[in-house]
Amino acid sequence: MTDDQVLRSRRVLLPDGERPAAIRVAAGRIVAVEPYATRGGEDLGGLALLPGLVDTHVHVNEPGRTEWEGFATATRAAAAGGVTTIVDMPLNSVPPTIDVPALETKRRAAAGQSYVDVGFWGGAVPANLDDLGPLHDAGVFGFKSFLVPSGVDEFGHVDPAGLERAARNLPAARFIVHAEDPAELGDAPPSDEYRDFLASRPPAAEDRAIAAVIEVARRTGARLHILHLSSSDALPLIAAAKHSGVPVTAETCPHYLTLAAEDVPDGATQYKCCPPIRERSNADALWAGLVGGVIDCVVSDHSPCPPALKRPETGDFSAAWGGIASLQLGLPVVWTEARRRGHRLDDVLRWMAQRPAELVGLRRKGKLAVGYDADLVAFAPDETFVVDPWRLHHRHAVTPYAGRELTGVVHRTWLRGVPVGDQPAGTLLAREDLDA
C-alpha cells in the first residue's frame, strides 16, 4: 500500500465490532474508516482484516545468545503470525538490559534487522534497585523482576522487599514480575515424567508470590503487572485487589489456556516452562478469569533455546531449559480454542492486541481506528492447517504445538501500511516516542 490507499473487506474488526468497511491509509496511519462500497483499493474478499497483534512478552535473546533466537528470526516469526509489535524482555541476552549502555547495545543489535516494531523492557535486579531512573529516562517500557532465580546467572532475583524498594524509588514506572515464591518450590528429581516436574512448582508458589506483589502495589501505589499467570487459584486474589483499586494487572499465555498437564507425554520437554502448564480444570478457570476481566491480556512468553538444551536425548524435565516457542502461533492457537468455547474474533483481538497495547502505553497500536498506525493483518478465520515446526520462522524447530491442527491462517501482514516482506522495516520504539 502506498500513500492514500484503500484496503476493503467484508469482515473488518473495528473497535465497535465486525462489519464490512474500507480502511484508508496515508503516511503509515489510518486516516479514515469508510463504507465497504468505497471505490478503488484492494478487496480482501473473504479474509478478515485485523489490527496487528501486540506481544509484550518476548525473549529475543540477542545479543549474547543469538544462537537461541535473534531479532531477525523472532520478528519474521512475529509478522508471519500477525504480530506487528513486540516488547523484548531484558534477560537471556548478554548483557541483560539493566543499565543504559546495555540498552544501547540491545538497540544496536536490533537495528536494521527487525521486521516488526520493537520496544524494550528494562530489568530491576539487586544491583540496580536504587539507580533505575536513567534507564527509565532512556525509554524502556518498565522493569522486570524475578522473585525466584531467573535461570541465568547474570540476571539476579529480588525479594518482595527489594521489589518495593524499586517501586518506591521510581513510582512512575511499571514493574512486571515473575511471581513465584522460592520457599514453596521443590527440587524436581531427574525424571522423564511431567508430573514430577509439575509437583516441584505447585500453585501455592504462585499464589503466595502474587499476594506479596499485590501488597507491594497496595502500599506503594505503583503499577505492578503479574507475568504469565499459570495458577487459577490466584484469580480471587487478583480480582479482590482490582476491586479495591490496587493498581495490579495480569497476563496469561496461550500454552496455559490450551495445553493440559494430563496430555504431556513422557519425555516431551518441549512442554516445559516456568511456571508450569497445569491441569485441564485449571485452564478452564483461567478462561473464566480472562473472559471476566480478571486477566487483562494474552501474550506469548516466547522463550526458545537450542534444541540440545531441551535434553531430548534423556527427556529429563529437571535438566531441560524451561520455555515455550510460540510467537508465530499465538493467534491461531488462541483463536482455535476461543472459537471452540464460543468466543468471537473481536474477543481475541481485545486480549491480544488492544489490551497489551494499552498496558504499555502504545497509543497508536492495537486497533483499527483513525490516527492509529496502519498495522494490519489479513486473516482467514475458518482456514485450518497442521503445525509443521520446520515451516516456522523461529530459529529452532521446537514447539509443543507440532502436529496440531489449528484454525486461522495469517495470509498477509502490513506494518504502517507497507506489506512485511524480505527487507526489515521495523522501528525501535522508546517510551517517549508514543505521543509523537
In the chain, the amino acid numbered 74 is A
- For residue 175, what is the domain's CATH number? 3.20.20.140
What is d(CA 159, CA 177) in angstroms, rounded to the nearest whole number? 11
Rounded mean pLDDT, 335-347: 98
Is 403 a member of any domain?
no
What is d(CA 36, CA 7) in angstroms, rounded to the nearest whole number? 9
Whether the per-residue pLDDT at 43 is higher than 80: the answer is yes
Rounded mean pLDDT, 405-411: 98
Do 392 and 329 contact (CB within 8 A), yes or no? yes
Write out the three cell numbers for 429: 520504539
pLDDT, tens only, 272-284: 999 999 999 999 9
pLDDT, tens only, 177-193: 999 999 999 999 999 99
Residues of the chain with pLDDT > 70: what percent? 98
pLDDT band at 40 (very low <50, low <70, confident <90, very high): confident
What's residue 39's pLDDT? 84
Is 270 a member of any domain?
yes
pLDDT, tens only, 304-339: 999 999 999 999 999 999 999 999 999 999 999 999
Write out the three cell numbers for 92: 537471556
Name every residue whose Cβ is closer than 8 Å to that of residue 300 and which is 6 or more positions away in sequence.
55, 57, 58, 253, 254, 324, 326, 327, 330
pLDDT band at 160 (very low <50, low <70, confident <90, very high): very high
What's residue 4's pLDDT? 72
What's residue 2's pLDDT? 52
Whether the per-residue pLDDT at 201 is higher than 90: the answer is yes
Residue 76's domain spans which residues? 52-363
What's residue 3's pLDDT? 52
Rounded mean pLDDT, 344-358: 98
Is 266 a member of any domain?
yes
Rounded mean pLDDT, 367-380: 98
Name every residue whose Cβ is closer than 8 Å to that of residue 123 and which is 6 or more positions away in sequence.
90, 91, 96, 97, 98, 143, 144, 145, 155
Residue position matching grid coordinates 507425554: 265
What is d(CA 249, CA 374) in angstroms, rounded to the nearest whole number? 27
What's residue 435's pLDDT? 41
Whether the per-residue pLDDT at 436 is higher than 50: the answer is no
Is 26 a member of any domain?
no
- Split into its structural domains, the chain has a count of 1
Whether the per-residue pLDDT at 198 is higher than 70: the answer is yes
Burial of 281 (0-12, 13-18, 19+ CB in 10 A): exposed
What is d(CA 267, CA 313) in angstroms, rounded to the nearest whole number? 9
What's residue 136's pLDDT? 97
Residue 226 host element (H or E): strand 223-226
What's residue 433's pLDDT? 52
Between 288 and 434, whose confidence is greater? Answer: 288
Whether the per-residue pLDDT at 30 is higher than 70: the answer is yes
Is 401 a member of any domain?
no
In the chain, the amino acid numbered 240 is A
Rounded mean pLDDT, 394-418: 97
- Total Cβ atoms within 10 A of residue 358: 18
Question: What's the sign of the alpha-carbon dihedral 74, 76, 79, 85?
Answer: positive
Is 370 a member of any domain?
no
pLDDT, tens only, 1-24: 555 799 999 999 999 999 999 999
pLDDT band at 434 (very low <50, low <70, confident <90, very high): very low
Is 431 a member of any domain?
no
Look up residue 154 and give its DSSP letter: T
Helix (H, G, I), strand (E, B) or coil at 393: coil
Is 242 a member of any domain?
yes
pLDDT, tens only, 75-98: 999 999 999 999 999 999 999 999
